Every structure is written in structure tokens, then in C-alpha cells.
Chains A and B, each alone.
Chain A
Amino acid sequence: MRPDSLLLEVSGLTKHFGGVVAVDDLDLRVNRGEIVGLIGPNGSGKTTTFNIISGALRPDEGTIVFDGTDITSWPTYRIARAGLARTFQLTRVFDEMTVYENLVAAAGSRAEVVEERIGPLLELVRLEDHLAMPAGNLSIGQQKLLEMVRAAALGADLFLLDEPFAGINPTMERHLIDLINHLQSEGSTFLLIDHEMQLVTELCSYIYLMDFGRNFAEGTPEEVREDPRTLEAYFGKGYIAGTRDQ
């Protein structure tokens, strides 16, 4: 059912913060061309997992293998250059720099790269007329789109999207989904965190459910939705027991 070429393999990932176990023996697999969802209640360790994969944090145990290479101890910038890009929950663009400069910062090389690779994307997100605008002046939705186009400018194979749909209006949502689908059709792979179950179901072909930093359930969106452990993760054991008694 799942495509066969492994792009990202997370094995046995564990991370403690003092006495708190944020991530506990987590396993994830993302194959090329997939859009995989990572869901779970607040505090289940999703963002921490992203931080570890992207190199911002070092895990206490476990490995991360990206496209055959062990990147567990790599610094953030090296991971990004290798093709693993990450966006943030609170949009981070370079406010005082123009949209164009934001893109060139990612591409890191010549202007031709910006135009070749990003041109069509810019048009898709309707930012091509805003190249000279300071990124901070864009609307939040536009900034999120810019963030993603920037990651695409990096030439990323795998995108880690941390709550990309948080706090934006439905129109922008559509643009973002269009962008993700477009990038996927061009060969990109996605691992995304979000709470909008509707969107996750629509976009993702496979979902991992986390709770307490651990793997809790996984499968296609339908499988995960039916799985009683999903309800348990979000609402607690009592809910299940309670509904059974009805």
C-alpha cells in the first residue's frame, strides 16, 4: 500500500528534558512522494520530534536516517542543505528583508536559481508581484506561503511542516494545499503536524499518532480514525470505557 522507497527513517528516538520524557522510543518511516501526518494531543512530543529530526536538538537515543545517510548528529544547516527543510509553528520569515532576499537567502547561490526553481511557485502563491516588499508586511497567510516557497528554494526533498494550517483563513488554506499538492506532484515528500483532522485526512496517505512521546497508532487516515486508541489518546481511557457502557 505504501510506496517502497524509504526517504526518512526514525528509529528508537528518545529525548529527556530533566525528568520529563518528551520522546520515547519513537519510530517513523516516510517514503518518497508520500504526505505523512503526525498527530497527537498537545504535549505529545510532536514538535520536539521535529526539532530533533531537523537538528535543533540532539536525541538521547535513537537514529535518524535520511536518504540512506545517518544525520542524527548533523548540525541544522547541514541537514537543511542535504534536502530536509523545516517550517515553524509561528511563521518565521525575515521580516526586514524583501521577499526576493528571503528567497535568495535560501537558494544561497545565484539569481537564476531563484527564477528557475521558484518562479512557478511564486506565481502559484501569487507572490510574484511582491518581490520588493519587506516580508514582514505580508499577511500571515502569505508569510506561511513564503516560508514554504523558501523551503522549496532550498531544493528540499522532504518538508517537515509544523502546523502549517494554524491560524490562517480558508482561502489561504486552499492556496497552501494547492502548493503542497503541486510540490508533491513534482516529487517532494512531506511530513506534517497539524490538528485540523479534516485537512490531515484530506492530504495525508499515512498517519502516525503520538502520545506521551510514543507511537500510539498508525495507518491510513481511515484506519487511524477507526482505531479506539485515537479516541483514547485525545480524550483519555475513561471516555472509551464510558461510551462502551452506553
Chain B
Amino acid sequence: MHMTSQTARSRSKGAAAAYRNKTKTYRRVSIALAALTAVGFAALPTFWLANTYQVRVATLVMMWMGLATAWNIVSGFTGYISFGHAALFGSGAYVVGLGTARYDLELWVALPLSFVLVGALSFFFGLLTLRIKGHYFAIATLGVAEAIRVLINYARSITEGVVGFPLPIDLILIDPKVPYYIMLGGLIAVVITAAMILSSDFGIRLLAIREDEAGAEALGINTARSKVIAFTISGAFSGFFGGMFAWILNFLSPESVLTPFVSLQVAVMVIVGGMGTIVGPLAGGLGFYMLSEFALVTAPRLNLLLLGSVLIVSMLFMRRGVFGTLMASRFWPRGFRL
């Protein structure tokens, strides 16, 4: 057996450096693509969209894309599939809704507040639920989310319960391009966050948790802390998008924001798009909407049929989602996480 020589040492150093350089190239490519897309989205209202209705719809699509990305930060990266994000999304909506309608807050105060307050809520939500593993985590998040929904329903004196309430009139009359660009900003922020996490050591720790949590622990990873941090970040952004949703919708009731169907829809978008990737949730959100629109236009009564078929086909043949399957295939450069 030989002791490693200087040449051997520098050879492996070279290999590691080569790997890191390749990763840097991937990163630059991703950033270039992202920047292009962002510019495209920014130009959209001016050059492409015909009327305010279309701008509103585009704003909503971006919201779903952002929400999907946020959900992916915890469920896609760590593998802990949350069915409770509707409560975080909805709570953000209620922060903005109640803040503007009842407490006369300005929107530019209420929106950041939704991010911060729901972030705090998510911290405790995560702390409570993340100790449970597997299926039961999903069920537990559903339970906590439903508890929050019941709570909001019953605090009728504050929240108007099931009936809901409208937002202040001056918010309704704003030029739709304003929420569009704010939403775009939020979307860019959450995507940058997700990408930074994925390319960092923190991201590797999250992926390790998804692969093998006990093995990750044996490697010195504080899995509890990592999970809760991811959940908090994910929840904070979900709250922000909820706040934006309340603003766009101009009306707030538990049925529109707090139902488990919101959680299910987000989960489907991300899983069909590709869990654990950056592009997956974005494509899922965009694709979902485009599919719905297509169905609505061509065969309105076949809407559910079409969506159901897409779900069946994608789960049968692309279990990792469209982009997950693509990136796991032989044709995709290894180590390139997009």
C-alpha cells in the first residue's frame, strides 16, 4: 500500500475543482435562463396581454407558481409532504384582509406583515408537526390546517366566519399592473430563495434528509433544525402569496383560501412538474393553468376529465414529474440541479 503522493493529492484536488467549476457553469446557465424568463414576464403586460382581465389572470398564475415553489422548499427538498399549506396561505390572506379592512393598515404594511406573521406561525406549525414522519406527517399537517380553518370560521366576530368580507374599495380600484409587478417581485424572490437553498450546503442537508434521515443524522446533520428552517421559509412565502391573493380577489372567505383543496392543488402542481427541482413547480403552476384554460375554451364540460387524465398519465409514466424524470434521465448532465 502506498502513501498518497503530492501528485495524487493534486490530482484529486483537480477532480474536485473540476467538479466545482462544472457546477459553477451550470449555475451561470440557470441564472441566465432565469433572468431571461423574468424579463419576459416583466414585459408581458405591456407587449402581450390585451386587457386587464388577462393581466389579472397572469397575476394569479404567477401566484400559483410562487406558492408551488414555496411548498417545494419544504416538501420537495426534504420529502416531508405537507398538506397544511392552505392554512399558511389562508392566514396570510386573512392578515392582509383583516389588516386593510378592519385595522386600516396600508397595503405596503399589511403585505410584509403577512410574510412575517405567517413565517412565525409556520415556525410553530413546523415545530409541532415535523417530529412526525411519513404519512402521518401529511395527515398531521392536514389536521393542524383544518384546526386553523375551524378557528378562523368560529372567530366570527373578527373574521366574519364563513360569510367572508370584501376588501377596502381603494384597493379594488388600483391599476392591475401594480399587483402584477408586485407578484412578479414575490415570485422572483421565492425562486431566488429556492435556488440559493438548493445550491448551498443547507440544501444538500435538506436533500440528505429526503434520502435517508437517519443516515443524515449519523453524518452530524441536525435534521430537526434544518426541517423547521425550511418549513418556516416555505410558510412565510406562502403567507405572502396568500396576502396577495386576498388583494387580487378583493373578497375573503375561508372557502376560497383555507380548504385542503388548495394544499392538494399545490401538491399536484409540484409533483407533476417535478418535486425537488426549481423548474418543476414553476412548470407545474404554469402548466396547470394553461391546461385549465385550454379545457375551458375547447370543451368546458370536459375540464375535470382532462385534468384527471393528465394526472393519471403523468403518475403512471413520469413518477418524478416532468422535470424530475427529465433530470434523472441519462441525457441530463449529472449534478445539474435546475
Q: Which A residues have a C-beta under 8 Å from some C-beta of B? A: 54, 56, 75-78, 80-81, 85-86, 88, 92-98, 100-101, 104-106, 108-111, 114-115, 118-120, 122-124, 128-129, 131-134, 150-151, 154, 178, 181-182
Nearest A residue (CB) for B15? A128
Partner of B222, one of A77, A114, A119, A128: A77
Nearest B residue (CB) for A87? B218
B201 touches A131 (CB 8 A): no
Q: Closest CB of chain A to B276's CB: distance in Å?
A: 9
Nearest A residue (CB) for B10? A119
Besides A78-B222, A105-B208, A123-B12, 8 other A-B contacts (C-beta < 8 A): A101-B204, A106-B220, A114-B16, A115-B12, A122-B12, A132-B19, A133-B334, A181-B1
| A29 and B15 alpha carbons, distance in the complex (Å) | 40
| A104 and B1 alpha carbons, distance in the complex (Å) | 27
Q: Identify 26 residue pairs between A and B in the complex whose beta-carbon atoms are under 8 Å apart, listed by A's number.
A: A54-B218, A76-B214, A76-B218, A86-B218, A88-B218, A92-B214, A94-B208, A94-B212, A97-B207, A97-B211, A108-B221, A111-B16, A115-B17, A119-B9, A119-B12, A120-B8, A120-B9, A123-B12, A124-B4, A128-B16, A131-B15, A131-B16, A132-B335, A133-B334, A178-B1, A182-B1
| A80 and B334 alpha carbons, distance in the complex (Å) | 29
B220 touches A80 (CB 8 A): yes
Q: Closest CB of chain A to B15's CB: distance in Å?
A: 4
Residues in A neighbouring B219, C-beta threshold 8 A: 77, 80, 85, 105-106, 108, 150-151, 154
B215 touches A92 (CB 8 A): yes
A115 touches B13 (CB 8 A): yes
Interface residues as binary, B4-27 with A (CB distance below 8 Å gives 1, 0 otherwise): 100011011101110110100000
Q: Closest CB of chain A to B216's CB: distance in Å?
A: 7
Q: Closest CB of chain B to A114's CB: distance in Å?
A: 6
| A24 and B9 alpha carbons, distance in the complex (Å) | 46
Query: Is B227 an interface residue when CB atoms closer than 8 A count as contact?
Result: no
| A77 and B225 alpha carbons, distance in the complex (Å) | 11
Nearest B residue (CB) for A100? B19
B217 touches A80 (CB 8 A): yes
Residues in B neighbouring A88, C-beta threshold 8 A: 215, 218
Q: Closest CB of chain A to B325's CB: distance in Å?
A: 13
Question: Given A81-B220, A92-B212, A132-B335, are A104 and B204 neighbors across the interface (CB < 8 Å)?
Answer: yes
A122 touches B211 (CB 8 A): no
Q: Closest CB of chain B to A19's CB: distance in Å?
A: 26
Q: Closest CB of chain A to B133's CB: distance in Å?
A: 14
Residues in B neighbouring A134, C-beta threshold 8 A: 334
Name A's interface SS.
helix
Q: Which B residues have a C-beta under 8 Å from some C-beta of A? A: 1, 3-4, 8-9, 11-13, 15-17, 19-20, 22, 201, 204-205, 207-208, 211-212, 214-223, 328, 334-335
Q: Which of A78, A119, A122, A178 has the most CB of B within 10 A?
A: A119
Q: Closest CB of chain B to A181's CB: distance in Å?
A: 7
Nearest B residue (CB) for A135? B211
A96 touches B16 (CB 8 A): no
Q: Closest CB of chain A to B280's CB: distance in Å?
A: 15
Partner of B8, one of A77, A106, A123: A123
Q: Closest CB of chain B to A194's CB: distance in Å?
A: 19
B211 touches A94 (CB 8 A): yes
Residues in B neighbouring A81, C-beta threshold 8 A: 220
Question: Given A92-B212, A96-B211, are A105 and B16 neighbors across the interface (CB < 8 Å)?
Answer: no
| A98 and B15 alpha carbons, distance in the complex (Å) | 14
B4 touches A77 (CB 8 A): no
Nearest B residue (CB) for A130? B15
| A110 and B200 alpha carbons, distance in the complex (Å) | 10
B217 touches A77 (CB 8 A): yes
| A88 and B11 alpha carbons, distance in the complex (Å) | 30
Nearest A residue (CB) for B4? A120
Residues in A neighbouring B205, C-beta threshold 8 A: 105, 108
A94 touches B215 (CB 8 A): yes
B201 touches A108 (CB 8 A): yes
Residues in A neighbouring B214, C-beta threshold 8 A: 56, 76, 92
B218 touches A85 (CB 8 A): yes
Partner of B223, one of A77, A94, A111: A77
Nearest B residue (CB) for A55? B217
Question: Given A85-B218, A106-B220, are A98 and B335 neighbors across the interface (CB < 8 Å)?
Answer: yes
| A95 and B208 alpha carbons, distance in the complex (Å) | 10
| A13 and B104 alpha carbons, distance in the complex (Å) | 64
Q: Closest CB of chain B to A105's CB: distance in Å?
A: 5
Q: Closest CB of chain B to A159's CB: distance in Å?
A: 12
A77 touches B220 (CB 8 A): yes
Q: Closest CB of chain A to B107's CB: distance in Å?
A: 41
5 closest pairs, A vs B, by CB?
Answer: A80-B220, A128-B12, A119-B12, A94-B211, A120-B4
Q: Which of B11, B16, B221 has the most CB of A within 10 A?
A: B16
